[in-house]
Amino acid sequence: MSSFNLFDAEEKSLEQAEDLRRRLEQAPGPVRDGIASLIEAYSRSVREQRRLVRVSDRLQAQLASVNQELGKRKAEAEDALESLKAAQESLVQAEKLASLGALVGGVAHEINTPVGIALSCASHLADSTAAIAKLFEADDISVDDFERFMATVKDTTGLILSNVERAAELIRSFKQVAVDRTSSERRRFDLAAYIRETLASLGPHLRQAGHAVRLACPDGIVMDSYPGALSQVLGNFIMNSLVHGFDPGQLGTLSITVEQEEAGSVRLVYADDGKGVPEDHLGRIFDPFFTTRRGSGGSGLGLHIVYNLVTGPLGGSVAAESPEGGGTVFTLSMPLSP
């Protein structure tokens, strides 16, 4: 077996041409010169073809190794992306827990007030009762004393009742919201009532900031969805307004407007009339870790969680705008039953 040659056919043609040239030795000069220059040109062409094949082989080998390297790098980048996603996921979980922690803190603060009032009323009532009992035992009780005591009893029991009722109501709201936040359970709930409960659970933050809160939601919209997710979304909108929306000391209005334009879905518009969001931040506002407050404890995850909850469990969409006149508007569309 002769060794393989890519240009076997060309070389055979060249040999035949040389042969022809030898046999044409008697031919006229111009014919011999013509044949010689044709052979020379063909032989150069074959040499050049060989060179071209070598050159492009080399380039293609290079290309192949670059491609391999590229594939390797791509795999590495994909691995890195995977672990970043995992890290992000755990940070999101941590942030959820942290916001639950803040909720618990708020609950404690909020319940402290009515319980404190009830306690001091009860203590005042006990003192008054002891005093009137003493007068009664000494048989030294006047009609005036008794009337004053009766007034005290009426006032304090009224205050105790209303404050304990307030505390009970708060506990009921908090319990619902906290349970919903920790569990991702689906259930049927009245939208307006649930938004009110959520606002109540954010009461301490809202009162501290001093902004007005307006809720416009038709009664009787019943959702079969994930209330915990909705509560967290609203909470994050509100905390976002409180932290970023206003300059210190500036008072504004937060509003939640719910409209039902078509059966089966609902549109919730959350707006504040604060400073608004710069144009170049709007496009990144839902990106994970996007924050303008890294130094002061912003995680950059609040609105990312909103985005995940809305597009995930709630099965809807969310968009952010910052209108000309100022303020920030989040528009949330979601099905009543995702």
Partner 1 sequence: MDNLKIAATERSPAVDFDFAAGRLSLKGESYPEDASAVFGPIFAALEAFLGAARGREVTFDFDLTYFNSSSAKALMNMFQMLDQSADAGCRLTVNWFYAADDDTMKEFGEDFCEDLSHVTFNLVSVE
Measured distance CA(226)–CA(313) in Å, rounded: 7
Asked whether position 66 contacts partner 1 by CB under 8 A, the answer is: no
Residue 97, interface with partner 1 (CB under 8 A)? no
Shortest CB 236 distance to partner 1, Å: 43
- Residue keyed to tokens 């809807």: 316
The smaller minimum CB distance to partner 1, of residues 6 and 81, is found at: 6
69 contacts partner 1 (rule: CB under 8 A): no
Residue 169 as a binder of partner 1 (CB under 8 A): the answer is no
**Least separation, in Å, of the C-beta of 7 and partner 1?**
8
- Residue 16 CB, shortest distance to partner 1, in Å, is 16
E strand map for the chain: 187-190, 212-216, 222-225, 253-259, 265-272, 317-321, 328-335
Size of the site for partner 1 (CB under 8 A): 16
Cα(310)–Cα(332) distance, integer angstroms: 8
* Contact predicate 317/333, CB 8 Å: yes
Of the listed pieces 29-37, 59-67, 160-168, 189-197, which binds partner 1 according to CB under 8 A? 59-67
> Taking CB under 8 A as the rule, does residue 75 contact partner 1?
no
SS3 272: strand
Minimum CB distance to partner 1 smaller for 5 or for 250 = 5
User: What is the distance, to the nearest Å, from the Cα of residue 31 to the centroid of all Cα atoms in its chain?
Assistant: 85
Piece in contact with partner 1 (CB under 8 A), picked from 18-26, 60-68, 91-99, 218-226? 60-68
51 vs 46: CA distance, rounded Å: 9
Stretch that binds partner 1, among 6-14, 25-33, 74-82, 121-129 (CB under 8 A): 6-14
Structure token pair of residue 337: 């039953």
Distances (CA, A) of 5 to 8, 17, 51, 57, 159: 5, 19, 14, 16, 107
CB of 44 to partner 1, least distance (A): 17
Among 4-12, 85-93, 264-272, 313-321, which window interacts with partner 1 (CB under 8 A)?
Answer: 4-12
Query: Given the complex with partner 1, which of 16 and 56 has the nearer CB atom?
Result: 56
Residue nearer to partner 1 on the CB measure, 65 or 112: 65
58-66, 82-90, 137-145, 297-305 -> range binding partner 1 (CB under 8 A)? 58-66
**60 forms part of the interface with partner 1 (CB under 8 A):** yes
Q: Does 16 sit near partner 1 (CB under 8 A)?
A: no
Is residue 162 within 8 Å of 115, Cβ to Cβ? no
Q: Is 52 a binder of partner 1 (CB under 8 A)?
A: yes
Query: Is position 104 an interface residue for partner 1 (rule: CB under 8 A)?
Result: no
**Nearest to residue 239, comparing CAs of 266, 199, 180?**
199
Helix locations, the chain, DSSP H: 8-23, 29-137, 143-182, 191-201, 203-209, 227-240, 279-282, 302-311
Virtual torsion, Cα 160, 162, 164, 168, nearest 10 deg:
170
Task: Find all residues with CB under 8 Å of 46, minimum gap 6, and list them.
Answer: 7, 10, 11, 14
**Binding site residues, partner 1, CB under 8 A:** 1, 3-9, 49, 52-53, 56-57, 60-61, 64
